[in-house]
Amino acid sequence: MLFYLAFPSGGYAILTWFTMVPIIVALNKVTLRNAFMLGLLSATLGWLCSIWWAVYGVAAITSSAPNIVLPFVFIFCLISAIPYACACWLHVRFKFGQSLSGAFFSATFFTVVVNYIPHILPGNLAHALYLQPLFTQLADIGGVALVFFLIHCINLLIANGITLVNTDKTKALQCFIVALVLFFANIGYGHYKKNEVIGDYPIQANSTTSTKMISKEKSLRVAIVQPNIDITNRTRDDWLTVKAELDQLLLQIENEQNIDLVVFPEIPVPISYRYYPEDEVFFKPLLKNSSLLLTTIKPLNETLDNNAGYFNTMELFGDNAVEQTYAKQVLLPFGEYLPFEQQLPWLREIFPFAPNYKPGNQSALFEVKNSQNISFKAVPLICYEAVFTEQVAKGMAQGGEFLINSSNDAWFYHTSGKRVHMALSLFRSIEYRKYLIRVTNTGLTAVLDPYGNIVEGSQIKENTHGYSVVDIPIYDTASFYQQHPNAVKYILLLVSLLSFIYYGTKRSTLNV
């Protein structure tokens, strides 16, 4: 229940600092077997309550009944709960609930098994703080995993303090004091970062105001579009019908001054400037003075009438021509392909209308010029790709200077799915200290600054069609996490290994 309430699905982020306390306290009174089962049960229910919206989203994408999807979502939640169950087992196995140091070692194990094992949807308690940038700035050192580690350290210290209060009040007090010190130290780091200056631009990280000054030579003027196309529109004929409603919107954008780039999001109907002449005519007016970025489809065999499948792509246009393309590399299971379809062909019988996209195999950077004819490099991220820091790291290594995430969250209807997707994506801006342009079909559409704040005036009201124009400074800088993405990971892995050896040997000796 606490996990659900703390996560973006519940919206009570303050509970993040206490969510794990009840189960950690309970672990001190159970056997090893029950510790594993308690962790498995709690985490499974926590996941299921927090991502129930995925049932309707996957059902809508695959044109399936929700009751068909539910068992698959349950299996996903069960698999996602196994790392938590293992961490609970280790907590009891090594008696980490009986000391201050045990809280740190237990938090290390939780962090390693939850964050560094490959995951379909890498969500955790750290993402509950996505609208609390004061608490998340440690991500520029160790990514989401370091924020996760701190959260679990504090939860475990509080739990251990409660456990020890009747047997050793001194140790209990020490646990509570250290928990408070870590909490306020994290706030102090957040305040420090709030007043940090990157390049020539002071950032106000505790407000919605992004910058105090913007140099035209080092910035892009970007228009982001939210078309708000209902997901019942799935075909080309549907697109040709609904696009008439967007004529006035595109005309307004065309009349804006000095727009360098127009970004149109992923939508439920197939579009392509390159393959559909009607789309070229529709979008061409926007190319008079700016570049245009579309999320489109590309047929596998270069002909639109083939059944071999499609690539989910981005097309960048300038000077009335396709300048660059990018094919999505990380596809959404069930939403864009059927996992294990070749091994389990009966899945296609259950999900006959599931999309048949193919993954791209090359990373790409889009070069966009501003009004001063200066080029900047954007890292393209289509939908689900933005939740994986490893995917963003590829673009950063090639010289990426800002991020563009195009998505269609309309599949989640009015559920918390939109907020969860936003939360998982937002951390990329903090980790790499880069602007993130997040453009969606129905919301949440906004520009995020390098501290995870929504830039003032960039957000478009959900479930409406509209656009916003934002001046985005481009920084020539790299965070510690960008330069050393595995530093914290290796430290935590080493500490886990050494503590596993030490406590395992110690326990064996005591048994003898």
Whether 199 contacts 475, CB under 8 Å: yes
Q: What is the mean pLDDT of residues 436-456?
A: 95
Lowest mean pLDDT among 111-115, 212-216, 297-301: 212-216
Helix/strand/coil for 214 = coil
Whole-number average pLDDT of the chain? 90
**What percentage of residues in the chain have a pLDDT greater than 90?**
67
Which pLDDT value is given to residue 509? 57
Burial of 196 (0-12, 13-18, 19+ CB in 10 A): middle
Domains of the chain: 2-194+485-511 (no CATH), 201-376+456-478 (3.60.110)
Which pLDDT value is given to residue 159? 97
Helix/strand/coil for 390 = helix
The 10s digit of each residue's pLDDT in 269-283 is: 999 888 889 998 999
Residue 497 in this model has a pLDDT that exceeds 80: yes
Which pLDDT value is given to residue 253? 92
Contacts of 105 (CB under 8 A, 6+ apart): 94, 96, 495, 499, 503
pTM for this entry: 0.92
Tokens of 305: 């009438």
Q: Angle at CA 322, nearest 5°, toward 316 and 325? A: 55
Helix/strand/coil for 226 = strand
**Position of tokens 């997707």?**
421
The 10s digit of each residue's pLDDT in 180-197 is: 999 999 999 999 998 876
